[in-house]
Each structure stands twice: as C-alpha cells, then as structure tokens.
Amino acid sequence: MNRTERQNDKKLRLLPLGGLGEIGMNCFVLEYGNDMVLIDCGVQFPDSHWPGMDLLIPDLGYVKDRLDSLRGVVVTHGHED
C-alpha cells in the first residue's frame, strides 16, 4: 500500500465543550468513527456577570444527542474545573 491510500474513512475528532480559553468548565469529547468518549465534565464558578448563578456547566447537548455512541467517561483530576 502506498502512503496515499487510506485503510478507512474514520477520523479522530476532539471537540471542546467547555474550558477552552477560560479557567474551569473543562469538558471535551473525543470521537473516532461512531465511538465517543467524554473527557472531564468540570464546572465554573460564576463571577458578578452571572448574578444568582451558583455554577456554570458545559453544554452537553452534543453528547445527549449521541448517547448510543458514548463508550465511557474519563476523569482526569478530582476537582471542579
């Protein structure tokens, strides 16, 4: 097989659902083909721009819509972010 041939059309995708460009709320989806792994699901403590809010959480709608593809959850560390 030469270097330009592909064995399959599966692509590895990393989707940030939270925590990108901010402190806290770390949450990522790693997808390969039809399989998905959720990496962390942190929260963020709101500042004065969010009156009355105790916690901010990532939007997990993408995961919810594809629950049949979810193969696991990886927790990388044991605190809120």
pLDDT in tens, 28-81: 999 999 999 999 988 888 888 888 888 888 999 999 999 999 999 999 887 766
Q: What are residue 14's DSSP bridge partners?
A: 30
Residue 2: inside a domain, yes or no?
no
Under the banding of pLDDT at 50, 70 and 90, the label for residue 3 is: low
Residue with tokens 């590895």: 12
User: Both ends of the chain: CA-CA distance in Å?
Assistant: 45
- The domain of 23 spans 12-74
Q: How many domains does the chain have?
A: 1
Indicate the pTM of the whole model: 0.77
Rounded Cα–Cα distance for residues 25 and 3 (Å): 40
Q: Is the pLDDT of residue 16 over 70?
A: yes
Residue 41: inside a domain, yes or no?
yes
∠ at Cα 41 (44, 70), nearest 5°? Answer: 155
Residue 25: inside a domain, yes or no?
yes
Under the banding of pLDDT at 50, 70 and 90, the label for residue 20 is: confident
